[in-house]
Copies of this chain bind each other. A is one copy, B any other.
Amino acid sequence: MKEITTQQQRVLDCIQVYLNKTGFPPTRADICKELGFKSPNSAETHLRALEKKGFISIESGTSRGISIIGGSAPDGQAQDEYPIIGLVAAGSPTLASENIESKINCPNNFFNSNFDYFLKVKGLSMKDAGIMEDDLVAVKKTNEVKNGDIVIARIDDEVTIKYFNRKSEKIVELQCANEDYKDIIINLENEDLTIEGKSIGLLRKN
C-alpha cells in the first residue's frame, strides 16, 4: 500500500462518511459537493489515484461503483477485536497470548491502513514524536519499512519502538525522539535485527 496524500485521504474519508450516512457510495459530483471541488474531474483523478494505490476499487462504467478495500465489509461498520500487547523488555514472541494485556473493539478501517495489534508503550524514548508512556500504538505487521517510519524492532529478544534509518547496506540506526536517550546503531553483520512492524496510528486514553 503506497503513501496517501492529504487530499486523497480527504476523498477516502468522504467516501466512508457518505457510505455510513446513505448506505451507498457517492458519485463524482457528490464528492465535489462535499469537498468543494468545482469539476467532477477533480474527484475522478483522486479516485483513480486511490485505486492505483490500492485503497479503493472502481467498477468501470458503473454508477457509484466504488468500494473501499481493506476490511471494509457490507456497510463500512465492520469491527474486530484487536489485542493490546505490552512492550515487553525481554522475552517471548510478541504475539504470544501471555503478552496480551487486553483487547479493544475497534472498526478495522479505523486507521488509514489496516493493522494487527496495539502495542502499549513503555518509556519515553519517542516523546518528541508524541508517543508517551502507556500510549497504544497501532501496529501493522510488515518488514517493508522506509527511512523515517516509526518501527517496532526486535534486537535479541528486546522489543523497542524507534524511528527507522538505514545508514548504509549494513548499518541501521534506530533513532529516538528524545535527547535523553541514545540512538541504537545496528551492524547487521554482527547483530540481529527483526522488524516486527510499523506504527500506523496511535490511541491514548486519559
Instruction: Please encode chain A, from 91 to 119, with 1 for each CB lying within 8 Å of some chain B CB and 0 for all others.
Output: 00000000000111111001110000000
Q: Is the CB of A77 within 8 A of B66?
A: no
Q: Is the CB of B75 within 8 A of A72?
A: yes
Known contacts A10-B102, A132-B130, A205-B111: A75-B75 contact under CB 8 Å = no
Docked Cα-Cα span, A14 to B84, in Å, equals: 12
Which of these, B68, B81, B107, contacts A23 with CB under 8 Å?
A: B68
A204 to chain B, nearest CB (A): 4
A140 to chain B, nearest CB (A): 11
Q: Is the CB of A203 within 8 A of B206?
A: no
A22 at the interface (CB under 8 A from B): yes
Binds B, one of A40-48, A164-172, A183-191, A194-202: A194-202
Specify which chain B residues have a CB less than 8 angstroms from the CB of A14 in the assembled complex.
102
Interface set of A (CB-CB < 8 Å, partner B): 10, 13-14, 16-17, 19-25, 27, 59, 62-68, 72-77, 79, 81, 102-107, 110-112, 127-132, 135, 150, 199-206
For the complex of A and B, the 5 pairs showing the least CB-CB separation, nearest first, are A23-B67, A63-B63, A202-B204, A130-B132, A73-B77
